[in-house]
């Protein structure tokens, strides 16, 4: 199988994730962009696994999913704590420290 199409799709998804991280201002959406990047990577893992005909990439996808889940737990806890203290989840408002 030619993985090219899947890889291009994965790169596009990853780029959308990076763009979302850079452009969006709500911490939750920024965090969702990171999840999108992880899932884009999963797609490329699976495509490469199929191309190479081994299972390593498929297993990697499972690891990434578990790690992403753990990240959600920690990340949302931090975002919620910040939101409760400031009544805002905008990353622009987190500006007490500069340079």
Partner 1 sequence: MINVLEIAAPTLEWGLLSPLLVILGGACLGVLIEAVAPREMRYVLQSALAALAVVVAFGLTTLNWIQATPQLAAVDLLALDGPTYVFWALLLISGLAAVALFAERALGGGQSAFASSAATVPGSPLEREADALHREHTEIFPLLLFSLFGMMIFASANDSLTVFVAVEIFSLPLYLLTGMARRRRLLSQEAALKYFLLGSLASAIMLYGISLLYGFAGGFKFAAIDQAITAGAGSMPLLLTGMLLTSVGLLFKIGAVPFHIWTPDVYMGAPSPVTAFMAVATKTAAVAALLRVFYVALGGLQWNWQLLFAVVAVATMLLGSTMALAQNDIKRLLAYSAIAHAGFILVGVVGAVAAGEGVNLPSVAAIAFYLFTYGIATFGAFSVITMLRRAGGEANSLEAWKGLGRSNPVIATLMTLFMLSFAGIPLTAGFVGKLAVFESAWVGGYGWLVLVAVVMSVIAAFFYLKVVVAMWFQDADEESVGTVETPSLWTWSVLVVSAVATLVLGLIPGGVLTLLTDAAQFIR
**Site string (58-97) toward partner 1, x via CB under 8 A:** -xx--xx--x--xx--xx-xxx-xx-xxx----x--xxxx
Binds partner 1 (CB under 8 A): choice among 24, 32, 51, 88? 51
- With a CB cutoff of 8 Å and minimum separation 6, the contacts of 94 are 27, 82, 86
Q: How far apart are alpha carbons 56 and 19 in whole angstroms?
A: 29
Residue with tokens 């190479």: 52
Q: Is 32 in the site for partner 1 (CB under 8 A)?
A: no
d(CA 25, CA 21): 8
Token pair recorded at residue 7: 């890889």
The footprint of partner 1 (CB under 8 A) covers: 3, 7, 14, 17, 21, 27, 30-31, 34, 37-38, 40-41, 44-45, 47-57, 59-60, 63-64, 67, 70-71, 74-75, 77-79, 81-82, 84-86, 91, 94-97, 99
């Amino acid at each position: 199988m030619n993985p090219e199409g899947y890889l291009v799709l994965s790169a596009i998804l990853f780029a959308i994730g990076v763009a979302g991280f850079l452009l969006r201002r709500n911490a939750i959406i920024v965090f969702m962009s990171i999840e999108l990047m992880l899932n884009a990577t999963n797609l490329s893992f699976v495509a490469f696994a199929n191309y190479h005909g081994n299972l390593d990439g498929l297993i990697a996808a499972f690891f990434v999913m578990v790690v992403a889940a753990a990240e959600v737990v920690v990340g949302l806890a931090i975002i919620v704590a910040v939101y409760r203290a400031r009544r805002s989840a905008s990353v622009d408002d987190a500006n007490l420290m500069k340079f």
